[in-house]
A and B are shown apart, each in its own frame.
Chain A
Amino acid sequence: MTVLRVLLARLRGLVSRGRADAALDDDIQVHLELLTRDYIHRGLSSRDAQAAARRAFGGVDQVKEAYRDQRSLPAIETFLQDLRYAARMLRRDPAFATVAIISLAIGIGASTAAFSVFNAVMLRPLPITDPRSARPAPATASRRGVHPGQSDL
């Protein structure tokens, strides 16, 4: 159950990234302020107190990074980032994008067509029960075959 709950929470984290980051920023801000205040009470100058607060807190960026990894699904987040990046690059150079899309379309279309023909001609067996016994039909048989039951005139 807990696994499922965590997965759901992380999926939610994927959607509400900005809000979660803002919340963490607020928390860190307050934390550093309170730490600084403490050190000032202990008699440090405000500059020394700020430095001491940062030391006690540890690396702000490491904490943010650990938080981000924990917040959502990093693999999916990276993938979405790559997609957005790709879309941005394509939009920036429409001529290149058009050429790329057309060559892809032609490439995919040509190989699909070639395979369709090859498949129909070479790969699929004839739709009859015993293809090995099939023989080329004599020329006259075709006419008779088309109109079965008709008397041969």
Chain B
Amino acid sequence: MDSDQPAGEVPYGTLDLMVLKTLQVMGALHGYAIARRIEQVARGSLALNQGTIYPALLRLEQKGWIASKWGVSETKRRVRFFTITRAGLRQLAAEQRAWARTVATLNRLLEES
């Protein structure tokens, strides 16, 4: 309910990329597992509102970059498992390149004295 986010909030537009990468590395996962994996990799440097992952998953599915299938959770309930599609893999590669370029540019700028 707390509207003003602490520092380390998810940079705008990067959640989709994180989700795609997670699915590429881990295979089929449900929303909770994706959120936990992202938090583990971030080692506490991200304040992820885990719920925001669901609109992101829907967005990615609408774009055809991930697919979903019903499965059963560890608590024996039905839940959707998400996998990355071939189009998603292509998109991930392109976004990774773009991200690396952006970071390199920014670093060069910041290191100028």
Chain A residues near B (Cβ < 8 Å): 2, 5-6, 9-10, 13, 23-24, 26-31, 33-35, 37, 56-60, 62-63, 66-67, 69-71
Contacts and interface: CB of A to CB of B under 8 A. Distances in A.
Nearest to A59: B1
Contact of A34 (B1, B58, B73, B80): B73
Contact of B63 (A5, A29, A57): A5
Contacts of B64: 2, 5
Contacts of A31: 30-32, 35, 50-51
Contact of B52 (A13, A23, A26, A63): A63
Contact of B62 (A10, A26, A56): A10
A52 B72 CA distance: 24
Contacts of B59: 70
Interface string B29-49: 011100100000000000001
Given A26-B78, A27-B31, A29-B77, A9 B61 contact: yes
A146 B49 CA distance: 89
